[in-house]
Structure 1
Amino acid sequence: MTGQPPAGIDTSRPHPARMYDWYLGGKDNYPVDEAMGRQMLTLDPRVPVMARVNRAFMHRATRWLAHQGVRQFLDVGTGIPTAPNLHQVAQEIAPDARVVYCDNDPIVLAHAAALLRGTDEGVTEYLQADARDPDAVLEGARKVLDLGRPVALSLIALLHFVPDDEGAHELVRRLVAALPSGSYLVVSHATADFTPRESAEAIGRLKAAGVTLALRSRAEFTRFFDGLELVGPGVEVPHHWHPELGDPVPGQDDGVIPGYGAVARKP
């Protein structure tokens, strides 16, 4: 990215959302993000594939939910817009779908207008709030969504940046508790289960650059769904979750992609 960064953006250290944008081939990142991204590639050259697989999981989960009749979506930790965005996937199936995006990153706010171009029948809004403050997220969401009707809560590639001691499980519990029966939780998450040596090195390099990475095991990931009903096939590596719904990613079957994805229903 060239020119002056938007106000509030720190370009002296890498940022996970901007690194993710770089992995996806976007232009909303800075040299510090590319430099750290290239370091990650030396540990595992499949990182860009992982980013695309994660994005494709979100697309498939959103399609599945829309086909189940879900018409309200709350996407927390939105990240930098990359088409197709969640509202485009949902509103292609259900033009009247209502979507609220939520992020605390100033660079996402700078691109919020791009997120708000939905269908005439539906609603697409952006909320500037931190996932670690679920009360603020819910307060903003209530202005657009009817929390008396089912909502799909999406936490895509977010929770592995929130350690347990910063309340990762509590924020999930509080968000889910505010949603009615018939709502859904969608989560994707990186893990060290398949690449322990490379993951340990990645955690160390990112920590030195000021980025916390809280990789969780399959059992630790599954805890986020306590009290909910997992949708088949349950907890899976992301590209094995309902692959028939489309969005295959070139290279996704080149070994196990080190992450998990799952969708669960609130009874």
Structure 2
Amino acid sequence: MILTGRSRLAGVLGWPVGHSRSPRLHNHWLERYGIDGAYVPLPVRPESFASAVTALANLSFLGANVTVPHKEAALRVCDEVTSSARRIGAVNTLFFHDERILGDNTDAYGFIQNLFEGCPKWKATSGPAVILGAGGAARALCVALMDAGAPEILIANRTRTRAEKLADSLSQDSGGERLRIVEWGHWSDMLSGANLLVNATSLGMSGQPPLDIDLSALPGTALVNDIVYAPLETDLLLRARERGNWVVDGLGMLLHQAVPGFTGWFERTPEVDEELRHFVLEG
């Protein structure tokens, strides 16, 4: 990659940020499409986040992605945010235009696009969705499924009060009346009739405890998704596949959520394909 004085610049803000695969992902696209630009990691301490964003805008960066622990702080520094970011309560993508900071959250988009790509026959409207977890990722999933028309969304979390807080915060949202809290561990009641099961917890991730779940009540027609991608095929996905369910891993969510940012910064809509999947996984 050779940069010029006209190179278009973007990056990812996080603390730490060395784990992020976003630089590998975006720079692959830049090279693929022959774009004069660069996407760089930007490690920023939480107390310096607001000033760092202002500095990037003043340095003619086109924008940046935002990862932990800055997503909620990013919402506060924006002059304008999208409806998706406001509803999710966090920003993961920044755009700098005419001295204004615009914020978006593309996690809901990335999640639903990953399901549609991984299982084209699946429809959100076909039945209830079950979400395990009640953190920021689960919130984005709820927004995505409400917008996609899921008739009911069941939320289960090991700490029930967190699930209740999530549901309450979305209760005034369009479709929020479709949210229902279910008890963690009541697998039969939770999974019977489900159209989708999503693990949005860290359980089953490399280095974390396993997700101990009984899938016997899950219909064979249900789609199962795990939003983590380390490992790429979690024990949940392996067991679901063995019993005949459709499964979609979590890598596609990472790849698809990057598309709107890249498109806005570099004026080219990138393709998510197998070559990209393999390249990002190798990093």
Q: TM-score range by the shorter chain?
A: 0.3 to 0.5
The structure in which a higher percent of residues are strand is 2
Structure 2-normalised TM-score?
Answer: 0.45
Structure (1 or 2) with the larger CA radius of gyration: 2
The higher-RCO structure (CA 8 Å, 6+ apart) is 1
